[in-house]
Amino acid sequence: MAEHHITPVRTYLIIFGALMVGTVLTVLAAEVDLGILNNFVAMAIAVTKAMLVLVFFMHLRYSTRMTVLTAAAGFFWLALMIGMIGMDYMSRNSHLLPVAGK
């Protein structure tokens, strides 16, 4: 029922344009040394691009709640895995160990 909606070509082209702009932006932003902020900018742009692909190209905009929930669950679980494993590494106080190339 959700797929009876036909996304117009214009919409696809606009999204394509946005994705290209994002690509250019991320390359330019990387050239500037923003320290820790580089990570956030790069990921913010990447997440935005991914959302555009998910919502428009993959038709999540017109999908059932079940589908959206499924997609969200997948990404959430990945975040869980990275987050909890990261939690171990961040709490290891390895900066206190003698440096021998770590």
Partner 1 sequence: MDITSSRSIPDVPTRETAFERPNYLNAEYGWKSWLFTLDHKRIAILYLFSVTAFFALGGLFAGLIRLELLTPEGDLFGPDTYNRVFTMHGIMMVFFFLIPAIPAVLGNFLIPLMVGAKDLAMPRLNLASWYVFNIGGIFTLWSIVNGGVDTGWTFYTPFSTTYSNTYVVATALGIFINGFSTIFTALNFIVTIHRMRAPGLSWFRLPLFIWSMYATSLVIMLGTPVIAITILLVAAERLLHLGIFDPRLGGDPVLFEHMFWFYSHPAVYIMILPAMGVISELVAAFSRKTIFGYRVVAFASVAIAVLGFLVWGHHLFVAGQSAYAGTIFSVLSMLVAVPSAVKVFNWTATLYEGSVSWQTPMLYALGFIGLFTIGGLTGVMLATLGIDVHVHDTYFIVAHFHYVMVGGTIMAYLGGLHYWWPKMTGRLYPTFPSKLSALLVFVGFNLTFFPQFILGYMGMPRRYWSYPPEFQVLNVLSTAGATVLGVGYLLPILYFAWSLKFGEKSGDNPWGAVGLEWDTPSPPPTENFYVTPVVTHPPYTYNREEVHNRLTQEANFG
Partner 2 sequence: MASTPLVDRHEHGHGHRHPAHQFETMEQQKESSTLGMWLFLVTEIMFFGGLFTAYVIYRNMYPDAFAVASSSLNVPLGAFNTAVLIGSSLTMALAIWAAQVNRRGLIVLFLGLTMLLGLTFLGVKAIEYHDKFVEHHVPGPTFNFEPEHIKPQALREIESRDPQFQKHTEIFFSLYFIMTGIHATHMIIGILILGVLAVFAKRGKFDPEYFNPLEMTGLYWHFVDIVWIFLFPLLYLLGAHLHR
Enumerate binding residues for partner 1 (CB under 8 A): 66, 73-74, 77, 80-81, 84-85, 87-89, 91-93, 101-102
Compute the distance between CA of residue 46 and CA of residue 40 in angstroms, rounded to an integer: 10
Q: What is the C-alpha separation between 4 and 13, in angstroms, rounded? A: 20
Which is closer to partner 2, CB of 66 or CB of 96? 66
Please say which residue, 20 or 81, places its beta carbon nearer to partner 1: 81
Angle 37-52/9-31 helices, nearest 10 degrees?
170
Per-residue tokens: 11: 């919409």
Of the candidates 76, 20, 79, which has an alpha carbon nearest to the alpha carbon of residue 52? 20
**Which residues of the chain form contacts with partner 2 (CB under 8 A)?**
1, 3, 6-7, 9, 12-13, 15-16, 19-20, 23, 26-27, 30-33, 38, 42-43, 45-46, 49-50, 53-54, 56-59, 63-64, 66-67, 70-71, 73-75, 77-78, 81-82, 85-86, 89-90, 99-102
